[in-house]
Amino acid sequence: MITKDELTAQLSNTLARQKKAFRQRPTPISYQERIDALDRFQAALYEQRHDLAATINQDYGGRSTAETLLMEIFVIIDEIRHTKRHLRKWMAPNHVMPNWQFLPGRARYVYQPLGVIGVMGAWNYQLLLALSPMIGAISAGNHVMVRPSELAPLTAELMRKIIADCFPEEYVTVITGGLEVSQAFSTLPFDHLIFTGSTNVGKIVMRNAAEHLTPVTLELGGKSPALIGENYDLKSAAQAVLHGKLSNAGQTCVAPDYVLVHEKSRDEFVQHCVDAAATYYPSLVNNPDYTHIISARHYQRLEKITAEITSKSGKVVTVNPANEACTIENGVFPPTIVYDCADDCVALNEEIFGPILPIVTYRTLDEAIEYINDRPRPLALYYFNRNRALNKKVIDGTLSGGVTINGCLYHLVQNNLPFGGVGDSGMGAYHGHDGFQTFSKKKAIFYQSRFSLSKLLRPPYGPLFSFFVG
Ligand code: NAD
């Protein structure tokens, strides 16, 4: 059994080799080398897509292959394509106008790689959350150490092999192993560390990083609301919300965590939610489209959430159309709509991260906005309304990591939009150009000219100085 100190020493060695390889380069990794690296990785990912989906399926004991392909592998491939299309422009130096006193000097800024980037992922999208930051880091010319979650170990191991076949260890490498590896990893002196996971662990990681003044990007969780406008078509809203909620069986950071619906529409909306869930998943057990809960611990956590609601006289509607046995052993947790929940219950106060959807009612839009703003800032917000002025009111009146209007999840996969939380849901952003910028140093460069007024502003300060300052 390896000790904590030995583990830290091993990881430190890998980091030291990467830092050395980075420093030994006379110039940053070129545009062409970055493109080649992205090409190589894109081809490997595409070739291994079915193996990867099958392996994630094993880790979950049942994970929708369609979702692995649609929501992880093809999102990553799409991000690589987007990056390759725009990288030359992103890397180009940007010339700006110097202050007039410094003319005819020249000013510009360049994006320079930082060095070695640490990436810590979460199990719920084991590929996407490890590889999307990695692509951003590679595009910016860095070396990368990737640490996937220990809760999907088979996928982590396959990812390690694929990356080891594509890249030398001192350029990009994947670190596997148990929780103790994550703990040691977060204490390493990276040039930047991006962490995806829970808010509580995010605080620990940030504290560890502070020891070396390592800058962090934190991609955290929270309770993302779906607010249904008073006049919006309830059936269509329920279909969108349930799709967002039940993808990956609710184990999605941007899943709608709870719904705010006008009190007059509550019962009708609940019925539409039940219908939508039953249409998407006519059966649950052995349904290749319905994902299982990752572990017995998480399954029990979800059971406790519904048990508490029942014990406090709330309503729990389970959607199990084929009336199958959903158990902790088979890992299938049925879609569950809950309402009339007591204000203090866990369902309304902690991130659910499973297929349980609480419905909360409001009487006025202002009241709904206040309900959202009384709580920690969410990672995502969904608003269903076709009225522009009301859309603006909700967008301006709330603060969240991102917003999708009249849909769920979709802002996350826009290559031209930043992805990141705010407050309790995180700090910083990545994806596409934002990833490139996050993993770069935006360095200011000024070229002093031979002739410049500024040279006259040196001691002894005489009449010219008085002319300037008045
Ligand atoms: P988690 O915080 O338990 O684990 C995330 C990572 O942190 C894992 O790699 C784990 O090994 C590591 N870790 C755990 N304890 C640690 C410690 N004491 N020190 C150092 N590292 C430690 O989260 P999870 O259960 O893997 O993922 C679920 C959470 O992640 C949810 O809150 C979800 O909302 C959030 N999430 C956020 C995003 C996003 O993009 N914002 C995406 C997916 C998941």
Write out the chain in H/E/C secondary structure: CCCHHHHHHHHHHHHHHHHHHHHHCCCCCCHHHHHHHHHHHHHHHHHCHHHHHHHHHHHHCCCCHHHHHHHHHHHHHHHHHHHHHHHHHHHCCEEECCCHHHCCCEEEEEEEECCEEEEECCHHHHHHHHHHHHHHHHHCCCEEEEECCCCCHHHHHHHHHHHHHHCCCCCEEECCCCHHHHHHHCCCCCCEEEEECCHHHHHHHHHHHHCCCCCEEEECCCCEEEEECCCCCHHHHHHHHHHHHHHHHHCCCCCEEEEEEEHHHHHHHHHHHHHHHHHHCCCCCCCCCCCCCCCHHHHHHHHHHHHHHHHCCCEEEECCCCCCCCCCCCCCCCCEEEECCCCCCHHHCCCCCCCEEEEEEECCHHHHHHHHHCCCCCCEEEEECCCHHHHHHHHHHCCCCEEEECCCCHHHHCCCCCECCCHHHEECCECHHHHHHHCEEEEEEEECCCCCHHHHCCCCCCHHHHHHHC
Q: Is 430 in the pocket of ligand 1 (CB under 6 A)?
A: no
Between the CA of 305 and the centroid of ligand 1 the distance, in Å, is 20
Q: Which of 128, 147, 149, 216 has most ligand 1 atoms within 8 Å of its beta carbon, as the pocket-test mutant? A: 149
pLDDT of residue 454: 77
pLDDT of residue 237: 98
pLDDT of residue 2: 86
Q: Is 197 in the pocket of ligand 1 (CB under 6 A)?
A: yes
pLDDT of residue 464: 73
Q: Ligand 1, atom 17: nearest CA belongs to which residue?
A: 183
pLDDT of residue 453: 77
pLDDT of residue 153: 97
> Which regions of the chain are under pLDDT 50?
none
Q: Is 219 in the pocket of ligand 1 (CB under 6 A)?
A: yes
pLDDT of residue 448: 94
pLDDT of residue 26: 84
pLDDT of residue 456: 76
